[in-house]
Amino acid sequence: MLDLSYNTIVVLLGTALLGAGAGLVGSFSVLRGRALIGDVIAHAALPGLCLAFLIAGRKNLTPLLIGALATGTLSVLLLTVLRRYTRVKDDALLGTIRSVFFGAGIVLITYIQNRSTEGSKAGLTSYILGKTAGMVAADVQLIGGVALAALVCVVLLYKELRLASFDPGFARVQGWPALLLDNVQMTLAALITIVGLPAVGAVLVAAMLILPPVTMRFWTDRLSKLLVGSAIIGAAIGGLGTLTSAQYSLLPTGPVIVLVGTAFFVVSMLFAPRRGILARAAALRDFRRMLLRQRILSRLYEYAEGPTSEDAWLTESEVATTFDITPAAARHAINDAVFGGTLVPRSSAKGTEYGLTDAGWDHAALVVRGERLWQRYLVEHPDLAGQLVDLDLTNIDDYLPADVIRKLEASLAAEGRLPETSESAASQASAARRQGGRP
């Protein structure tokens, strides 16, 4: 049963605010390709916490967090310097710096715990994997303050941060201090990471920055929605994770929050419309089917150009052998075309045969025209083959200038190989493409 005591509410509020702030700030980190830097800062914060404890002598939150921030910042500085003056690859640098600082932190924690009973009571180990039980109102205020600061910065600097994350070079040419904007974003990420340490722990706090935006990215193509959605998902992950771990008092909070976040991520990855794996598979299947239908239509068109128009009829099994596909796939393609009004059945000695309808003729002419124009274009400009981009066979007019098309058409017409296409069919096809996004 849910036990919504005062303590639980405080903790819940804290982790939800943490999640919201981390989601907001993490969106920019992920977009900027800096997701791992949050992880480095989090690991590097550990030795700072311990040193602050050794100096302050007791577990007082403010000096601990200042210590954490100090070594966290040091790690980023070190990263920047090494990146500039050595040629060690980025991933190697990130991995090394993170491990070195984290290792130092573990050594210090062990030293503190062995040194005195006070040390073992301080519970510094909870900073490794996170423990929300000890969270008090002051901690929540701190988290809330950082989250609010993040919100204010993002609202005020929305335009600037968007530009500097998308195209820092262009931003600099326009006169924006891209480095300063980068630092604003990095500082926010560092702050939210540090205040999140007690609740989620050094090992996993970076996941709070990464999981919400990568989850939300499946659902939207707009930055504004990504930011709002990430904040909401972050809050939900934090809250749900806390409630779950509260039910099993032995579980550290960090791992539970990360598992809840992973569930959000996996569901989005599979089921999101358009960007999800299933939607992508379906789109790919539809595209292949469309190409197959186009090939069937163009084949019938070419048969009809031949000496006997009687050839312009195919049975299901003839379609299957012609295009080397299974009978089921052939049936499916034919049914789609009949349903779409481009093919019509008739019965004959061979069984049911399919031929082009009037609309089918129009469409087939468009496809054949596209096919032949492309072929002719490639023969005349073989060096340009690499430029051809995602196309079905009806969209050549989007890729070649009108005068080039006219020349190609003239050369095909001279050989009597230019299909007669109707203007309306062409403009319909092009309108459908513009509406529908990528074909």
CB of residue 78 to other proteins, shortest distance in Å: 19
Q: Which of residues 295-324 bind other proteins (CB under 8 A)?
A: none
Does position 279 interact with other proteins (CB under 8 A)? The reply is no
Q: Which alpha helices (DSSP H) does 272-308 contain, by range?
A: 277-305
CB of residue 247 to other proteins, shortest distance in Å: 36
User: Helices (H), strands (E): how many in the chain?
Assistant: 19, 3
Given the complex with other proteins, which of 111 and 166 has the nearer CB atom?
A: 166
Residues paired with 134 in a beta bridge? none
Binding mask 347-386 vs other proteins (x if CB under 8 A, - otherwise)?
Answer: ----------------------------------x--x-x
Closest-CA residue to 356 (of 294, 431, 291): 294
Applying CB under 8 A, which part among 1-9, 39-47, 171-179, 187-195 lies near other proteins? 171-179
CB of residue 175 to other proteins, shortest distance in Å: 4
Does position 222 interact with other proteins (CB under 8 A)? The reply is yes
Side-by-side strand order, sheet with 351-356:
314-315, 351-356, 343-348
**394 to each of 48, 88, 359, 399, 410, how far by Cα in Å?**
63, 49, 15, 11, 18
- What is the rounded distance in angstroms from the CA atom of residue 429 to the CA atom of residue 195? 55
Applying CB under 8 A, which part among 64-72, 98-106, 116-124, 155-163 lies near other proteins? 155-163
3-state secondary structure (DSSP) of residue 2: coil
Interface with other proteins (CB under 8 A), residue from 156, 270, 282, 385? 156
- What is the rounded distance in angstroms from the CA atom of residue 108 to the CA atom of residue 48? 10
Q: What is the CA radius of gyration of the chain?
A: 31
Does position 434 interact with other proteins (CB under 8 A)? The reply is yes
Task: Evaluate whether 354 touches 313 at the Cβ level (below 8 Å).
Answer: yes
Does position 111 interact with other proteins (CB under 8 A)? The reply is no
Does position 163 interact with other proteins (CB under 8 A)? The reply is yes
Residue 280 structure tokens: 């992508």
Total number of residues binding other proteins (CB under 8 A)? 41
Task: Evaluate whether 146 touches 191 at the Cβ level (below 8 Å).
Answer: yes
Binding mask 21-40 vs other proteins (x if CB under 8 A, - otherwise)?
Answer: ----------x-x-------
Binding-site ranges for other proteins (CB under 8 A): 31, 33, 156-160, 162-163, 165-167, 169-170, 172-176, 217, 220-223, 225-226, 381, 384, 386-390, 398-401, 404, 434, 437-438
